[in-house]
Every structure is written in C-alpha cells, then in structure tokens.
Amino acid sequence: MTTPGAPDVPGAVNLRDVGGLPAGESVTRHGVLFRSGNLAQLEPAGTAALGGLGLRRIIDLRADEEVAHAPSRLDGLEVTTQRVPLFLGSVESFFADDISLDEMYRRLVEDSSSLVVEVVRGILADQPVLVHCTVGKDRTGVTVALTLAAAGVDADAVVSDYARTEGMLPEWRNRRIVQFLRSMHPEAVHLEDLATRSPAPVMRAMLDGIDASYGSAADYLRAHGLADDEVAELRRVLLRPV
C-alpha cells in the first residue's frame, strides 16, 4: 500500500517526499528532499525505483557499526553517498541509559549541532537528496525538522511530518524490535517510545526549545556556522510560491 507522498520503493523503510508542506505563502517543492529509514532491505525492484527518483545525493546518518551491519543496497545507482554519523555515542547507549525522546533530541540538538549543519550543507549541495538513518524517526526526524523549520515551513506542518513516521512503521516490525529490545532491557521505561513512536508533542517541545534558546531554527543553524546566504539558498531550494 502506498501512502500520499510516499513513493513505491519495495523494501524501503519509512520513505517519503517532504514536498507539499505549507510555508506561509509558499510550499515545499516535490521531488527535492526525501527522508527514510535504512536502505538495507531494498529488493532489486526497490533499488531501481529509488533510482527512478533521480537522487543525486544520499545522506546517511548512521554510525559505522550500523552501516557495517546493514549496508545500503545501491548497486548500479550513480549517486553521491555522504556519511554524517549523527550521534555522539551509540544507539544502544540510549536504550541502556533509558533516556526519554525529549532528552535524546536535546542531546542531538546541542551535542551534534555542527553535524546538523553538515547535513544541511549536503542538502544544499545536490538535489534531489535523501536523508536517512536506520528507522527514519529520530536522527532523520530531528534533522529534517530543523531543515524545514529553517526554510520557513509552518511549525504545525513540521510537527505533522515528523509524527507521520509512527503510522508508517509496520506493526510486525514494531512488535519484533520491541520484543528484542525488551529481552535486553526488561525494566526500561522509555523503550517503546525510543523504538517505535514519534509523538507530536515531543517535536513541538523541541522546536519551542530551539526558538526559546536561539530565536528560530534558522538562527540555530546560523549560531553553529551556517551563513545567511546558505539559509537563503535553503529557502530557494526547498520552497516555491503557492
């Protein structure tokens, strides 16, 4: 089954186009910025379908061990792959420490700010571009949300795009991964949130925190090295007038 804005790419996890989001008197362009989870389960038809999107760059936010365990199936595609491992620590550590999504996102925003800017610069370098991690929920969710907000996308639309992930993760996948993680962390309180959920209030709180600390998502990126002309270019690349 295909959902709106989600290209049919067999084997892809949580893949979608972020086009069509309102941004004041503009809207995000279709076919420019895509987001997803890992590309390790692509069927041959999926690799071909991914190629049909015309991607020029794929930005992989996973750590080295994740890439080694589940390499992307991109054989035959002429595309630049940019590696930006976004966590300063392992994915496993977040489950072991049993942190909340709010805390994970706070750490990501504050500790990986230079890497977030690196991702935004990758988006500016080539389009169409796909940003992905393992599930496409947290690292991808935060980075794409900051990118969209900095471009001027309405906050409600940014939050809604993030929250879509929860409905795009197959129930069988959630059940299997929660069972596996629960066997290792039986007392963890935040395990299911970390593994399967993308609650709108969490993203709303993250964006509100950015605004309170920096003024806006664009100012957050500026504070960590993005130039004014790059912010302007981001808006030009991602938006078109209604």
Residue 47's pLDDT is: 97
Give the tens place of pLDDT for each residue, 37-69: 999 999 999 999 999 999 999 999 999 999 999
Domains of the chain: 16-235 (3.90.190.10)
DSSP track, 120-166: HHHHHHSSSEEEE-SSSSSHHHHHHHHHHHHHT--HHHHHHHHHHHH
Q: Collapse the DSSP code of 15 into the 3-class scheme (helix H, G, I; strand E, B; otherwise coil) and give the result.
A: coil
Amino acid letter at 44?
P
Work out the burial of residue 192: count CB atoms within 10 Å of its CB; fewer than 13 is exposed, 13-18 middle, 19 or more buried.
middle
Distance CA 103, CA 186 (A): 20
Distance CA 82, CA 60 (A): 6
Scanning 8-81, the segments in alpha helix (DSSP H) are 44-51, 64-69
Residue 118's pLDDT is: 98
Q: Single out the catalytic residue among 18, 133, 191, 238.
A: 133
Q: Collapse the DSSP code of 187 into the 3-class scheme (helix H, G, I; strand E, B; otherwise coil) and give the result.
A: coil
Amino acid letter at 232?
A
Please indicate whether residue 214 is annotated as part of the active site. Answer: no
Cα torsion 168, 181, 206, 83 to 10°: value is: -80
**Residue 19: how many other CB atoms lie within 10 Å:** 16
The strand pairing partners of 83, in sequence order, are 60
Distance CA 109, CA 6 (A): 27
Per residue of the chain (242 residues), what is the pLDDT tens digit? 345 578 999 999 899 999 999 999 999 999 999 999 999 999 999 999 999 999 999 999 999 999 999 999 999 999 999 999 997 666 667 777 888 999 999 999 999 999 999 999 999 999 999 999 999 999 999 999 999 999 999 999 999 999 999 999 888 787 888 788 788 778 777 788 888 999 999 999 999 999 999 999 999 999 999 999 999 999 999 999 99
DSSP track, 35-99: EES--TT--HHHHHHHHTTT-SEEEE---HHHHHHS----TT---EEEE----SS-HHHHHHHT-
Work out the burial of residue 126: count CB atoms within 10 Å of its CB; fewer than 13 is exposed, 13-18 middle, 19 or more buried.
middle
Tokens of 170: 């197959």
Residue 4's pLDDT is: 58
Q: Collapse the DSSP code of 236 into the 3-class scheme (helix H, G, I; strand E, B; otherwise coil) and give the result.
A: helix
Report the candidate in 239, 221, 229 with the shortest Cα–Cα distance to residue 20. 239
